[in-house]
Amino acid sequence: MNMYDIIDKKRQDKVLNKEEIEYFVTGYTKGNIPDYQMSALLMAICCNGMSTRELTDLTITMANSGDKLDLSPVNGVTVDKHSTGGVGDKTTLIVAPIVASLGCKVAKMSGRALGFTGGTIDKLESIEGYKTNIEEKQFIDQVNRIGIGLIGSSKNLAPADKKIYALRDVTATVQSIPLIASSIMSKKIAAGSECIVLDIKVGSGAFMKNFIQGAKLARTMVNIGKMAGRKTVAVVTNMNAPLGNEIGNNLEVKEAIETLKGKGPKDLTDLCINLSTEMLMLCTNKKKDECEKLVKKSITDGLAFNKFKELVINQGGNIEQIDNPDLFEKAKYSVEIKAPRLGHIIKMNTSEIGRVSSILGAGRETKEDAIDYSAGITIMKKTGDYVKKGETIAILHTNKEDIIEEAKKLYLSSLKIYIQKPTRHRIVYGVIK
């Protein structure tokens, strides 16, 4: 077997076998295959695609290339949720305690913010004292005791994907549905949960810009998950506006607390109810109506919020901040943005808004950048809302005085305001099983 023949086979749109897939994944991860040959193969995959069987072999080989989280010591059915990344997406902080309060086991490793998207781990670390790097044994014990653990990834999960992704990034091969699907699913499979609910975001603040692309990615990921022996469902959701009204780390934790108490914004609440319902259905095999009722009741009865508090206490976080969110640190400057004219907000360039939040200090452009937990944006008017000239449409929160004018300009340029009322789009487009 050699790399030249594998590239040539894929160039001719033929199906690679498991041995050939293992040959190039293992060879490239070990440094035995040069970048130029791997780049040629990735481009051939981009152009010709892969069958579900090929993709499953690719995904499992990448998942097996490094550490795996062994969740077999967890008593009960484990469930994970993965979002393809958006702006203002704090759903993990809400759905994980909801389903844990209903008996599912959530042993979840999450990521950090990069570029225009936020990261659950940074949000959790905005709670004073919250530890995201607890030992594996302690983590599993906690999940067995209280049903939930949310930590950062201390393990070397799917190193083959890390190396291949870095190459894709510089060879114009990121935008390939088979490669995106296998990349994400390799990490999910290495992370160990039996059930996986995928939140595939579609729109101006997402990787996938339209529904057709999003649905195709969702179908591909669900097929891979099932072939790899995991119960997998994908929910295709709207990311044409930031989710909820808050963007930024401690601002999003505060909004998650409100939502867990049943007082959150409608789009965020609806999405969390949908995702939690799918998670509960996978874990219990109960009917949709029953699961949805249980999810709603866990919010109204305070079970979900109490589970979140239990999580924070067990991971060393300051519970006083959760009971009294006013104790979270506030940014030095809060600057109102006024509508420049009257009309309806018909479009928000959501990834641009994510970038504004990052400039204010809430995100990072490179992995080494520090995060300001108090920075971010409170959004008062979103797509579909009517605004009067001079009305406050958003508040920027920052500790950096010198970037305020630039951030204001960028925020305003990310909006389109017109007289006509646009049609409102629902938050959930569809579920793919």
Alpha-carbon distance 337 to 393, whole Å? 6
The smaller minimum CB distance to ligand URA, of residues 208 and 371, is found at 208
Active-site residue flag, 357 = no
Read off the tokens for 414: 């990310």
The smaller minimum CB distance to ligand URA, of residues 61 and 183, is found at 183
- Among the options 105, 123, 163, 187, which is catalytic? 187
The smaller minimum CB distance to ligand URA, of residues 264 and 363, is found at 363
Query: What x/- string results for residues 167 through 186 when contact with ligand URA is judged by CB under 6 A?
Result: -------x----xx--xx--
Q: By Cβ distance, which residue is nearest to ligand URA?
A: 183
Q: Would strands 333-338 and 376-379 be described as parallel, antiparallel, or unpaired?
A: unpaired
Active-site residue flag, 187 = yes
- Is 375 a residue that touches ligand URA (CB under 6 A)? no
Active-site residue flag, 5 = no
Query: What x/- string results for residues 193 through 232 when contact with ligand URA is judged by CB under 6 A?
Result: --------------x-------------------------
- Among the options 183, 193, 204, 374, which is catalytic? 183
- Report the 10 Å Cβ neighbour count for 306: 14
The smaller minimum CB distance to ligand URA, of residues 115 and 265, is found at 115
The smaller minimum CB distance to ligand URA, of residues 183 and 398, is found at 183
CB of 301 to ligand URA, least distance (A): 36
CB of 186 to ligand URA, least distance (A): 9
Active-site residue flag, 183 = yes
Q: What are the DSSP calls for 271-315, one per residue?
A: HHHHHHHHHHHHHH---HHHHHHHHHHHHHTTHHHHHHHHHHHHT
Picking from 203, 199, 201, the residue whose alpha carbon sits closest to that of residue 222 is 199
Read off the tokens for 407: 């951030």
> How many residues in the shown chain lie near ligand URA by CB under 6 A?
7
The smaller minimum CB distance to ligand URA, of residues 182 and 238, is found at 182
- Is 269 a residue that touches ligand URA (CB under 6 A)? no
CB of 187 to ligand URA, least distance (A): 6
Picking from 3, 13, 23, 433, the residue whose alpha carbon sits closest to that of residue 233 is 433
- Among the options 161, 199, 372, 385, which is catalytic? 161
Runs of H (alpha helix) within 64-174: 91-101, 120-125, 136-146, 159-169
Runs of H (alpha helix) within 132-240: 136-146, 159-169, 177-190, 211-227
Contacts of 249 (CB under 8 A, 6+ apart): 118, 122, 123, 125, 126, 362, 371, 373, 374, 375, 376
CB of 89 to ligand URA, least distance (A): 14
Alpha-carbon distance 270 to 276, whole Å? 10
∠ Cα 237 243 247 (to 5°): 145
Q: Which of residues 106-125 bind ligand URA (CB under 6 A)?
A: none
Q: Would strands 386-387 and 343-348 be described as parallel, antiparallel, or unpaired?
A: antiparallel
The smaller minimum CB distance to ligand URA, of residues 94 and 179, is found at 179
- Is 398 a residue that touches ligand URA (CB under 6 A)? no
Active-site residue flag, 161 = yes
Alpha-carbon distance 159 to 189, whole Å? 13
Q: Contact positions toward ligand URA, by CB under 6 A? A: 165, 174, 179-180, 183-184, 207
Q: Please identify every residue annotated as catalytic.
A: 82, 161, 168, 183, 187
